[in-house]
């Protein structure tokens, strides 16, 4: 199974032209949030509709900039995995959108415990579970700001250490596009799609590898 992972689109799909082949050839697209710039629901609908024209298999969560009402839009488009578990190609894809508290008071912020519990209750077979979160886990290559500070979620790191899911897909920290591991769990932040970042995750007989393409 091959997944195309994108995040932090912020309403800009210009890179869809360069990245269309990668997205089309994947078994599914995973969208890790911040689909819009400022929670514009029509913009969210437009972006998701354009992506679905390239690949119908799409699973998405809202980011902290999308607002809580984005969930209704994603539900209407039949792509929402916020607070859900979806079975796909023999694996479970689970998600929780929004972000932990920020200094900026963005539209969709949640308590760390809520995000932890939202995901934790849906992990039944960790080795077959793909976690989708807007927030990266704490102290990895995927959560560093431009000043080198780790700003990811400690509770999400705890979740990975406890449950050991197959992989953890995230975004949110634009300057921290990277791949890392916590034990055997692959962590991937593709960076902003509007800057051409696309993550590719390949799963074959329980073995997993990832890479980040720039288009």
pLDDT beyond 90 at 45: yes
- Domain hosting residue 63, numbered range: 2-214
The mean pLDDT of 20-26, rounded to a whole number, is 96
Which CATH number does the domain housing residue 46 bear?
Answer: 3.60.21.10
Q: What angle do CA 138, 125, 157 make, to 5 degrees?
A: 5
pLDDT of residue 156: 98
Based on the structure, what is the number of domains in the chain? 1
pLDDT beyond 90 at 16: yes
pLDDT of residue 115: 98
pLDDT of residue 206: 81
């Amino acid at each position: 199974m091959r997944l195309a992972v994108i995040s932090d689109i912020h309403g800009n799909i210009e890179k869809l032209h360069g990245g269309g082949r990668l997205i089309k050839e994947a078994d599914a697209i995973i969208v890790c949030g911040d689909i819009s710039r400022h929670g514009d629901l029509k913009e969210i609908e437009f972006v998701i509709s354009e992506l679905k024209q390239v690949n119908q298999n799409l699973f998405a969560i809202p980011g902290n900039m999308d607002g809580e009402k984005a969930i209704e839009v994603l539900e209407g488009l039949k792509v929402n995995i916020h607070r859900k578990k979806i079975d796909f190609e023999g694996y479970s894809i689970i998600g929780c959108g929004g972000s932990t508290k920020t200094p900026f008071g963005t539209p969709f912020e949640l308590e760390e415990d809520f995000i932890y519990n939202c995901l934790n209750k849906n992990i039944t077979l960790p080795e077959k579970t793909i976690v989708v979160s807007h927030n990266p886990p704490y102290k990895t290559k995927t959560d560093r700001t431009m000043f080198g500070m780790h700003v990811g979620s400690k509770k999400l790191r705890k979740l990975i250490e406890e449950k050991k899911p197959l992989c953890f897909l995230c975004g949110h920290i634009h300057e921290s596009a990277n791949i890392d591991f916590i034990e055997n769990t692959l962590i991937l932040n593709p960076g902003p799609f509007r800057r051409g970042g696309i993550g590719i995750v390949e799963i074959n007989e329980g073995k997993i590898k990832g890479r980040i393409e720039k288009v």
